[in-house]
Structure 1
Amino acid sequence: MWKRNPAFDPAVVPAEALVESELDDWWSMGRRIRAGQRFAATPAIAGRLEFEFADPPPPYDRFRGYLDGRAIWLARANLAIMESDFGEDRPPVDSPLAWSPAKLNYNAMFESEERPLGVIDHHGGPMDWYSADADAREALGEPDPVPLKPRIPVPLEYPGAPHSRFWEIEDANVDIGGYPPDAAHFATMLLVDLVYSHGDDWFVFPVSGRVGQLVTLRTLSVTDSFGRTYSSDDHEGLRAPEDFSIFKCDGLHDETLVLWPVAESPLESQPLERVQFGVDEHSNALWALERIVDRREVVRGPTDPDDAHPAHPATVPLTNLQGPREYAYAPATGMESRWHPYLLDWSAQDAPAYVQWGLADYSLQVPRPMPHPDAEVLKGDPPSSVHKIAASAMAQGGIELERRWQLARDIAGRPVLWIQRQRRALRNPPARTIRFDVMKETAPPVDA
């Protein structure tokens, strides 16, 4: 997927930056402002509001009215602007987009000499060898083995391990007997038995391997102190176990270890966006609630009436339950902005999907459409299309999506910046109660 471009070398760039990177996420606010200043005197751009920052988030609010270099870059063809006009502020080639708007997760493939490694249904966050599985549909390749120089094994040491030499004083701060074995904790029984019966039977030796490689031990030969050689081809004890493995990736050999660079403790920003999803069984709809958009906590509430869209007259609840009752009709109640409905569509070819719909405020005498979503995670592919979410991607308790800037370093120490989308499960989903064709009880008119 990235092997043809050295800028996206999986042996150098952290896997998170390759898989999670968005299109145009090279454009940080500083780069957008700096690139926009190049065209401040261009007649085709000056004074056009669509190329200016309308309401940038803090602390960039002081740049309101400045030119947005990213907006100019995206419209460069219509403006007859060459890429060379951006100079050093020209963005590099984007990596392929691995985000799936329908499944709300990442899917990517890495090429290898054995089998392609697939990152399937990645929800965002740390990635290591356990995030990838080999594609079993491809034939398992057998690269030419590379012989290693002889190594000298040394006893395995770890905190709490007994010393292997006789009459050697143990560390007083270590007490393996402090782990009480009992039937309820079977792992502690195995630990104590391993330490006391086989604590000095384990040895380690170095194996050369570079980041971005698949390391496989094909054969192993051991020469003891008497000069006798034992090979893994003849002795089962020197072969990898077939019933369990700690670092095994599905589709690869049992003795294969995946090594690739990961983003170690990346710096992350405050959320750029936070959107929560929840299924409302009463309205038979999926609701997407925008909590944070463009680094700001959104303000939710009913639509404000104006002259073109006046509100219905306010009703006064009836307090005298003994007298006659009258009712006033309201087309709808409970409308709030930033709540976006998705209705289940059973006609989808592959599987049922939630399709994004619009909502209008019928609490006004003249209904007014509610604003469209602003969050990037609520846009389809392409962004101008209607957003659809596979029904199988939605958890019962709802999910939450966040977008954040991430900053890490590659193997060469160079900074790597990207925007990550991370998905989490919610304990309680957001649910919106909306009622249509409501009859509200009102007080009867008072006789003069």
Structure 2
Amino acid sequence: MSTIKPYYPCEPFRAYNRIEGRPREEELDDSLAAKINDPLWMLARQYQFGELKGEDAGSAIFAKAAINMVRMTSFTGGDGTKSPYSEDIPLEARVERLTPEIDLKMAVRIGKKFLQLFDEEGGKLPASKGYVSGMYQDNFKEKFPFEVPQFEGGETAEDAAVKARILSLQQAASFLRAVSGRALNGKSLWDLLWSDPTKINNLILAPSQSPTSDKFILSKHKSLALLVAKNWVDFVKNELNIPESVEKDSWLKERLEYSFRTGIDEGNGTETELNAEEYFHGHLDWFSFDVAKEKEESNQPFDNSIRKREVLTVIPSEASFAGMPNSRWWEMEDGSIDLGNLKASDTDIAKILVTQYALQYSNDWLAIPYDIPTGSMVEVEGILVRDTFGQNFYVEAAHKDGESWNEWNMYALTVEKGEFESPDFDKRVLLPAAAVKTLESDPIEEVKFIRDEMANLVWGIEARVPNGIGEGLDGYEAAKSLQDEFSRLIQPKEIPSEISLPVALDNNSEGKASTYKAQLRYQLGNSVSENWIPFIPVHQQGSNREIHFQRASMPRINELFAPHAIRPRTPLLRDGIDEDDGQVYPLYINEEEIPRAGVKLTSTYQRTRWYNGKIVIWYGRRKRTGRGEGSSGLRFDLVLENKD
């Protein structure tokens, strides 16, 4: 007689009241397996959701893509000179780089480098040349010294302003006193040699001439001096990454932005010109360009060394993104993105499209990876896809030639045309040679342009000015320090040893009238902080209607000097002003560049590492939108209460 074992559907402590497994053994294999007791239930759920419904569709297993690619071949900067395109540095560094103001620390460093190069190259000379290490160091330090300005009396107002501006920078003045007489002033040497290194011949002695403070290099060392001067100028240009000349930078001071062009050789004798006319936001990408000149039709054959055509044969992979829903509904999501929490109104077209793609069609998209070299324009001729049933499908572009211009054309470049012509787009994808990530210093100079409707002026407010040692200083603090420096020059009046009392007048009508004090007084005008530089509206040349803003000056009035112009302290606003505060040429800014919201310009040093491992540093500017109009409080013809 067989024994029937009782069946217990739920053994003690095995009730499934948790989602995750509860291991009770030494090994975790069974728990991690996530076994399902009823797989038929899962199949029923698949049927209920329509996953078992047959469709006349197959999966893509094979694809061919024909791709055309051309490279940039030329670069045109601010002076209009076309030069060969090069990727030795990022394109945005080539565009943004400006000639920075050489501060005291930089002047000491490059001056020391010049003396080192002199000794290095001089040590390679034969003993017959008679060069001794350091034989010209004292002469160069005497010729190009660091000088601490001193007030000696009898200076003009402009000379006193220049000296006071240097002494008002306390850290820079202390640094200047420390290096005075001990180091070579590289800035003074750079001013002599940067445009023409052969100007070092001015320091070379004639064969029978005795050394002086102005000429001290022996004639037998002439070739050595020329070699050192050339190598030193190249070193400074590479170190600061400055353009070859001021005219060759891409900064347009009238528009407060950069402008440049690049050319693309199509390989059949034609060229496409890309124009970046309004670049100011600090990150160069495809949207900074417009097509200024389209490629023309040509019957010449393509040059395969310029135009590259490649056919890819790949297996397409599923396009994915962070937080993408899994293809099978029973898989656990990682929860990195809460797609159910997306809230979009009827007008949020972009958000609705992204949501629909993510929730409904995310696993219907396939991707074909292709590496594009920087500085290239790429066009996909077409894609041929084969599915699991052996059928081939030719995938056309979302935008077709001949269709309306307002069709889908993401990443397309606008073609510059006339005002009344139909707009057009270049369908190719542009990948400029731009830096991915840059490190940016604190602002060295910061200028805020605001409109002052009450004074009918535009003000350039110097919020930050260079402090002379490579950093920025608050503009209001710098203006206050400069006023204090002028106040120190004013000698206190001597107190008389005897005080004489006024003679009492007779009690008559004439005496009463002579001692009467007026209750009101007239003032011609008030003043503003010295870091507020005015720009006045003037007519453009040859026009009675169009205006632009011209840099002007507020007067500085003190007891020692006659009224004189207050000059700006930032290189941005000092354009056209020499070191002696004399104006060489005026500075104009177009009216449309300063809207009612205002403009803020910052100048910083930027640093990045290029794809070849080279570290690139440059000094550039960035323009941002301001915070609205302002008021300086400047008024004229004032009637005030007489408190004197």
Supply the distance in 2 between the matched residues of 1:214 and 1:368 (Cα, whole angstroms). 59
Instruction: For residue 112 of structure 1, give the secondary structure of its aligned residue in structure 2.
Output: strand
1:171 aligns with 2:247: no
Residue of structure 2 in register with 1:315 after alignment = none
- Return the alpha-carbon distance in structure 1 between the equivalents of residues 279 and 399 of structure 2: 35
The equivalent residue for 1:122 is: 279
Q: Are the aligned partners of 2:145 and 2:185 in contact in 1 as well (CA < 8 Å)?
A: no
Q: CA RMSD in A?
A: 3.9
Alignment of 1:116-195 (within 5 A): 116-136=273-293, 139=296, 144=307, 146-164=309-327, 169-171=331-333, 173=335, 176-179=339-342, 183=346, 185-195=348-358
**Counterpart for residue 111 of structure 2:** 36
Summarize the alignment of residues 92-131 of structure 1 with structure 2, pairs less than 5 Å apart.
92=237, 94-95=242-243, 96-114=248-266, 115-131=272-288
Change beyond 3 A, Cα 1:409–1:28? farther
Aligned residues with identical type, % of pairs? 18
Structure 2: distance between partners of 1:382 and 1:83 = 31
SS at match of 2:479: coil
Equivalent residue in structure 2 for 1:68, among 167, 185, 197: 185
Kept in 2: contact 1:31–1:89 (CA 8 A): no
Give the structure 1 partner of residue 459 of structure 2: 287
Residue matched to 1:266 = 438
Instruction: Say if 2:473 is the partner of 1:330.
Output: no
| Partner of residue 408, structure 2 | 244
Give 1:87 deviation, angstroms: 6.4
SS of aligned partner of 1:22: coil
Instruction: Choose which of 2, 12, 16 in structure 1 pairs with 2:92.
Output: 16
- What is the DSSP-based 3-state SS (H/G/I as helix, E as strand, rest coil) of the residue aligned with 2:142? coil
Q: What is the count of residue pairs matched by the alignment?
A: 425
Write out per-residue CA displacement over residues 22-73 of structure 1, whole angstroms, 9 at most, x where no aligned residue. Answer: 1367x68665323323467364761656788967886895354343323312
Checking the alignment, whether the CA contact within 8 Å between 1:330 and 1:363 is kept in structure 2 is no
Residue in 1 that maps onto 2:58: none
1:213 aligns with 2:376: yes
Query: Which AA in structure 1 matches 2:192?
Result: A
Q: 1:193/1:369 Cα in 2 relative to 1: closer, same or farther (>3 Å)?
A: same
Tell me how far apart the structure 2 counterparts of residues 430 and 41 of structure 1 sit (CA, whole Å).
Answer: 53
1:348 maps to 541
| Cα gap change, 1:225 to 1:34, in 2 (>3 Å) | same
Please tell me whether residue 297 in structure 1 is matched to residue 440 in structure 2: no
Aligned equivalents of 1:343 and 1:258: distance in 2? 42
Which residue of 1 is the match for residue 428 of structure 2? 256
| Structure exhibiting the larger radius of gyration computed from Cα positions | 2
Corresponding residue of 1:386: 586
- Do 1:397 and 1:425's aligned partners in 2 also have CA atoms closer than 8 Å? yes
1:300 partner amino acid: A
Deviations 1:292-315 (A, max 9, x none): 11122233359556669x9xxxxx
Q: 2:522 & 2:567 partners in 1: Cα distance?
A: 28
Q: Distance in 2 between matches of 1:15 and 1:361?
A: 44
Distance 1:192 1:359, change over 3 A: closer
How many angstroms apart in 2 are the aligned matches of 1:366 and 1:271?
34
Matches within 5 A, 1:289-438: 289-294=461-466, 295-298=472-475, 299-301=478-480, 325-349=518-542, 351-361=546-556, 367-380=562-575, 384-438=584-638
Say if 2:382 and 2:397, in contact at 8 Å, map to a contact too: no
Larger mean CA deviation between 209-218 and 373-382 belongs to 373-382
Is the alpha carbon distance of 1:393 and 1:186 closer, same or farther for their aligned partners in structure 2, counting shifts above 3 Å?
A: closer
Deviation at 1:268, TM superposition (A): 1.6
Write the distance in 1 (CA, Å) between the matches of 2:297 and 2:257: 27
Q: Does structure 1 conserve the Cα–Cα contact (< 8 Å) formed by 2:448 and 2:600?
A: yes
* Kept in 2: contact 1:403–1:422 (CA 8 A): yes
- Counterpart of 2:387, as a letter, is D
Change (3 A) 1:190 1:377: same
Structure 1 residues 186, 61: closer, same or farther in 2, change over 3 A? same
Q: Distance in 2 between matches of 1:325 and 1:69?
A: 60
Unpaired runs of at least 5, structure 2: 1-73, 77-81, 116-135, 150-165, 204-224, 267-271, 416-423, 467-471, 494-515, 579-583
Contact 2:413–2:427 (CA under 8 A) maintained in structure 1:
no
1:392-412 Cα shifts (integer Å, max 9, x gaps) = 111212211111111112221
The separation in 2 between residues aligned to 1:380 and 1:13, in whole angstroms, is 27
CA distance in 2, matches of 1:238, 1:359: 58
In structure 2, the partner of 1:320 is: none
Question: Match of 1:85?
Answer: 228
Q: Report if aligned partners of 1:401, 1:421 keep a CA contact under 8 Å in 2.
A: yes
Question: Cα distance 1:352–1:137, how it changes in 2: closer, same or farther (>3 A)?
Answer: farther
Q: Note closer, same or farther for the CA distance 1:159–1:407 as it changes in structure 2 (3 Å cut).
A: closer
- Structure 1's unaligned 5+ residue stretches are 311-322
Superimposed CA distance per residue, residues 254-310 of structure 1 (whole angstroms, 9 cap, x where no aligned partner) = 5411112322331221211111111211221111121211122233359556669x9
Distance 2:100 2:384 in 1: 52
The letter for the 2-side match of 1:147 is E
- Distance in 1 of aligned mates of 2:473 and 2:263: 40
In structure 1, C-alpha distance between the alignment counterparts of 2:576 and 2:609, rounded to whole Å: 30
Secondary structure class of the residue paired with 1:217? strand
Contact kept? 1:360, 1:367, Cα under 8 Å: no
